[in-house]
Amino acid sequence: MLDLSVRKAVLTGKPALQGPGIRLEVLPEGHLLHVMGAITANDLERHLSALGIKDTAVRPAGYRQWFVVGSERLSDALVRDLAGALAGSAFVSDQSHGRVRVGVSGPLAAELLSRGTAVDLHPSVFPEGRAAMTLFGHISVQVTRIAAHGFELTVLRSFAESLYEELEALALSLGASRISS
């Protein structure tokens, strides 16, 4: 039997929420590569640039581990080229099919997130570019500060709907309302 590549966005139809000081939204399911090995973020960024992979971010995901994320899908050939370029120093695992990204932004974003995680999100200890693997309630997520008042949460696909529903309830409690996409 042929292995058919059918990919459906897991949070399709989930509305964005917006209110005074808060915005919650589903981010595009582009690419998410897990890179593991003896490589620095700067070296990884150089390899990405050399391959023409643009509009992507490199985020720490653990000791000698990185997430390479972006809103556009990468071809299988490009992922193989990156794996080949990193051979001998790092391994690449395409997790695009298995993880979902959610955006929380606005002056109340840190307050919303602090209701579900124990990570200290104050900018002095969690500045822009910082990422942490943590729990949000009972769900494992990676929280990344992407702007002064902006965060991105990366979650395993099977927990995405549950996480989004928890975030929706918290956003509504902070005065947000559902908006059309």
Domain that holds residue 156: 17-28+98-174
Structure tokens at 50: 């050399």
180 part of a folded domain? no
* Residues 168, 103 within the same domain: yes
pLDDT tens-digit map of 133-164: 999 999 999 999 999 999 999 999 999 999 99
pLDDT at 110: 97
pLDDT at 5: 58
* Residues 85, 119 within the same domain: no
Give the residue-averaged pLDDT of 10-26. 91
Give the global pTM. 0.88
β pairing state of 65-70 and 99-105: unpaired
Residue 54 dihedral angles phi and psi, to the nearest 5°:
-115, 175
The structural domain count of the chain equals 2
C-alpha distances (whole Å) from 83 to each of 37, 92, 94, 155 are 11, 5, 10, 23
Residue 125, CB-side half-sphere exposure with 13 Å CA sphere: 6
The three-point CA angle 10-23-181 to 5° equals 55
Residue 5, CB-side half-sphere exposure with 13 Å CA sphere: 4
* Residues 104, 129 within the same domain: yes
Integer Cα distance of 76 and 120 in angstroms: 38
Side by side, which strands form the sheet with 139-147? 131-136, 139-147, 150-156, 99-105, 22-26, 16-19, 177-179
pLDDT at 13: 82
